[in-house]
Amino acid sequence: MSGWERIRTSRSRLGGSDSRSPSSRTVRLGRVQPQAPGHRTIYCNDREANLPVRFKGNSISTTKYNVFTFLPKGLFEQAGPVHPITNVVPLSLVLFVSLVKEAFEDWKRLQNDKSINNALVDVLLDQKWERIPWKKLQVGDIVKVRQDGFFPADILFLAGTNPDGVCYIETANLDGETNLKIRKALEKTWDYSTPEKASEFKGEVQCEQPNNSLYTFTGNLIIQKQTLPLSPNQILLRGCSLRNTEYIVGAVIFTGHETKVMMNAMNVPSKRSTLERKLDKLILALFGCLFLMCLIGAIASGIFINRKYYYLGLGASVENQFNPSNRFLVALLTMFTLITLYSTIIPISLYVSIEMIKFIQSTQFINKDLHMYHAETNTPALARTSNLNEELGQVEYIFSDKTGTLTRNLMEFFKCSIGGEVYGTGITEIEKGGAERSGIKLEEVHKSSNAIVEKGFNFDDPRLMRGAWRNEPDPDACKEFFRCLAICHTVLPEGDESPEKVTYQAASPDEEALVTAAKNFGFFFYRRTPTTIYVRESHVEKMGKVQDVTYEILNVLEFNSTRKRQSVVCRFPDGRLVLYCKGADSVIYERLGDVNGDLKKKTREHLEQFGSAGLRTLCLAYRDLSTDLYEHWNEKFIQAKSSLRDREKKLDEVAEIIEKDLVLIGCTAIEDKLQEGVPSCIETLSQAGIKIWVLTGDKMETAINIAYACNLINNDMKQFIISSETDAFREVEERGDQVEIARFIKDSVSADLKKYQEEAQQYLHTISGPKLALVIDGKCLMYALDPNLRGMLLNLSLNCTSVVCCRVSPLQKAQVTSLVKKGARKITLSIGDGANDVSMIQAAHVGIGISGLEGMQAVMASDFAIAQFRFLADLLLVHGRWSYLRICKVVTYFFYKNLTFTLTQFWFTFQTGFSGQRFYDDWFQSLYNVIFTALPVIIVGLFDQDVSESLSKKHPELYKEGIRDSFFKWRVVGIWAFFSFYQSLVFYHFITASSSSAQNSSGKMFGLWDVSTMAFTCVVVTVNLRLLMLCNSITRWHYISVAGSILAWFIFIFVYSGVMTPNDRQENVFFVIYVLMSTFYFYLAVLLVPVAALLGDFIYQGVQRWFFPYDYQIIQEMYRHEPDQSSRSELLDIRNDLTPDEARSYAISQLPREKSKHTGFAFDSPGYESFFASQQGVYAPQKAWDVARRASMRSGTRTGKKK
């Protein structure tokens, strides 16, 4: 099945399918499942009978395009607005590169689909197993799947090699959980495991239509005239794999795009950043401006043209464009002339520059940032697309998975309470965090020298280890505690039967941690058969004695989400009958006998203590049974187990009879470790104005615990909980009427939403009201996403600081993300690590994959990949913010320089009778954007920094400017446009007015080409100098690029006006620059005109910085006297892993280099100093002469002095 192994590095699982399902089942936001009415009937093992129904084939396709849609769809997604024909070459180049990239990505998807569709599976044909490709599988086929194989479709489990008709499956591709789940075949079908037997199987399955609900299934199997109810327990979903079972046999129910996993998939989206969309609007505005300028010129030319201007020679034979007899035609033709003349207003090279800047930003800055490099796994950050860099600087909502994203998905036995005594000395990260917030300093706890450290076991207390428990006040309780851990579970041991080499396969990491704990306490569970458990017990009878004990397992009362407990009835070798039970404290406490008085109270305190430390707790209890009582109960149990109707309900009722009068032993506390730095990262992101939602498939209690641990929820918050785990809901569910259940949940969810919405409004109107948190589970969410309730859910959740959704399916994760993205129109980011997060990652504006333990599906579907959640702070607050700031500057500057240049041409039109005469030479116009002003703006897009990396993280509030989109508002564009207008008037009128009386060295007046070359020189110089005023930090690259651009213009004009070729129009400019430069006027104009042009900007920037500063400008002022705290010193020291060349370049990078100088006209405002001094509690009166004194200080002494 190599194809399925490759799936781990593919985008296809829950990643974009192109779900070609009929429109009646289209998966839309908030559709209640199951979506299609009626049911389907499948004839197992009978291909002919199934033919008339025409079920879907098992072939899948996850590509974004096909042969016919590639060009139209690809072009539509790549192209911004239409560009004028003059700029076809650079445009087609950009489009070509983008299309090649898209085609390559889609080709990889196609290869992946092929390898999956051609994977082989055993199918029963003519009484024997034959291997056929997955794509040829049909509904109703009987298939055999071997150990570690993936299920090729949704299958009804008939028989397997394990006793009791049980098989173990891993669902990591569906819900991100790596622990094993148990599935159980119906007893009637256990025998069909051989080809001979299986070929006799002729059942009929009546079940629901294909839908996207992963955790539900309703149907019946009709076999030998008996109708057997089917539940999700008998269904093996495509995408899961078989574990610890040699092989299973099953019947295919849903295939291809109708399997539940593919119904959860979403189309691969095409993502463009919000800023790019806004840029498209700006370009359209420029088109509007272009059209307006051309219209003014065209109408004016139609009015102006007149034969009374005899010196223009407008005789009868004049060409159409200047024929006064047909003014309309004159206007029309002038319109076309002016369009080509003014086309420079459209910044075609902007798209090329931005693509280039973003590409370098992502490959050189994000991918190579050592702060986002994870040394343990040797994983750097990876930008998988460069389209969305600036989007990272504007994120307002983060949707995060829990297991593996916030936590490490490693459960460790940490503490316990036995017989009212607490054991275990460690301090959890959550306790440390809580103490820090309260300002208490905790003592470091040192581990004892012989403490055992093992995966799943992080417990240290010499009182219990190596048989020391025998000396405790209540050794019998300790013994029962350890036995309960060793016996009451469904774990399978694998490998050698020695404590060092055994590995446990458990249905949950918690269960594995508990059995590992029992092993380390000296009760080593090493072998299991369907009816017995073997435990190697140490120190029980006397210290140092080891004995193997066999316990007969008589009944297992399984764990489920309503029971919240698991029990085992076992017989000791001496005939003693005991029921061991472990479960949630709430359910165990309800079933305790009267003998537990004081112990109950003490243990309750310990449970609360563990809970507040963020640990996952379970209570352990036991009950001794008499033989009569047991025999009487066992008859009822067997009856319930074999009943066809309401089996689960009857089993639960029978369990209630025996699970009472329990004796409490104690409780366990397990830590699911948070990833390093998660709480502080979340706190930083919250300060930055980002709201974080956790969407998880976990239980509500676990999710809330983790939310507390991550600082998402605290005790000061008002919590709104909408849950389906209520008594009223269980009552309705027991009646079993699906329609009534649906109506009941919908009504109760609607009532809850209304009530909480009103409460939230009241809190919001009070000044110091508490922060709000919403917790909702998957069942309620399914109805809350209904179109009628969706608005209320959105309003309520937007008013909450934190939202936790538990027990949600992959599709619901995507729906919640889309709800905020489309409903609230906020910029969203999703982060996850498993295949179950792919839909959510693709639904958000920005998707981030964590390259963790769970394969690569999330990474393959993401836009950026990082190794740890804490790196999100660097990615957003540093790279995101910088990228946003830089791209905004690049766009607005491009807009300014093109508008300024085109407007000078526009003013000239007024003096030429609107004839369309060019002011500038053709080559000037063509090379203006490509050579004379191209490089400096790219340097700004790459190197501009308003504050350093460390300050960006120290003051996360700076990020809010990106959320508010402060640097690309229409107001900002308007200010740039105003100064463009002002500067173009200065260039045009200053030069034309001053040159009218100027003369060259031979006494002649200046002509058109002299004046326009003079004006063009001033434009190039000014526009490049204006760029330096725009920078927050100036490096040598800025100087080189600006000086280089101005120099390039002079070199070009020297060569261009020095060369004359026959029969061309360039004799116009012949020798112009030499003539100009021989006059004093030229030097005066080049000095004064740029100063006059930039004076307005200079005053505006000063006033703005002094009186209306941006947040970053305030931070600049705070740290102005400190040398640039570049974080080079904080870089990770990974020289050991470097090659000699890398080590050398690393060493060079450590050398002191040119300090970046902050510019931006810090007028040393005395107001700043007193403001920040008062914040520090220092009185600093303002002095009028401070300004003059500080302005006259030399910069050297300023930077040297530390605050």
Write out the catalytic residue numbers. 401
Query: What are the DSSP E strand ranges found in 982-1138?
Result: 1033-1034
CA distances (Å), 151 to each of 40, 156, 182, 236, in order? 21, 11, 15, 7
| 397-400 vs 828-832, strand pairing mode | parallel
Instruction: Find the radius of gyration of the CA atoms of the chain.
Output: 37
- Facing residues of 252 across strands? 155
Does 1140 sit behind a cis peptide bond, omega within 30 degrees of 0 on the bond before it? no
Which whole-number Å values give the CA distances from 37 to 34, 242, 726, in the listed order? 8, 32, 29
SS3 state at 395: coil
Quote the CA–CA distance of 399 and 848 in Å, as a whole number.
10
CB contact at 8 A, 943 and 890: no
List the one residue out of 720, 705, 727, 704 whose CA is nearest residue 562. Answer: 727
Contacts of 1090 (CB under 8 A, 6+ apart): 1018, 1021, 1022, 1025
CA distances for 506 relative to 534, 570, 667, 790, 854, angstroms: 17, 20, 20, 39, 17
Q: Cα–Cα–Cα angle for 921, 922, 927, nearest 5°?
A: 105
HSE at residue 1153, side-chain half, CA atoms within 13 A, is 11
CA dist 1028 and 1039 (Å) reads 9
Closest CA to 985 of 1060, 1118, 1095: 1095
Q: How far apart are CA 625 and CA 631, in angstroms?
A: 10
DSSP state of 1192: H
Count CA atoms within 13 Å of residue 1174 on its CB side: 8
Buried b or exposed e, range 853-877, using 16+ CB within 10 angstroms: bbbbbbbbbbbbbbbbbbbbbbbbb
What is the rounded CA–CA span in Å between residue 994 and residue 1014?
11
Count other C-beta atoms under 10 Å from residue 311's C-beta.
5
On whether the CB atoms of residues 960 and 691 are closer than 8 A, the answer is: no
Instruction: Determine what percent of the chain falls in helix, strand and coil, rounding each to the nearest 5.
Output: 50, 15, 35
962 neighbors 394 (Cβ within 8 angstroms): yes
Q: What angle do CA 296, 302, 303 make, to 5 degrees?
A: 90
**Token pair 């540093």 in the structure block, residue:** 878
Instruction: Kindly give, in sequence order, each residue whose CB lies less than 8 Å from that of residue 613, ignoring residues fewer than 6 positions away.
Output: 428, 430, 431, 669
Q: How far is CA 366 from the centre of its chain?
A: 16
Evaluate whether 944 touches 881 at the Cβ level (below 8 Å): no
| Residue 562: closest CA among 447, 462, 656, 685 | 656
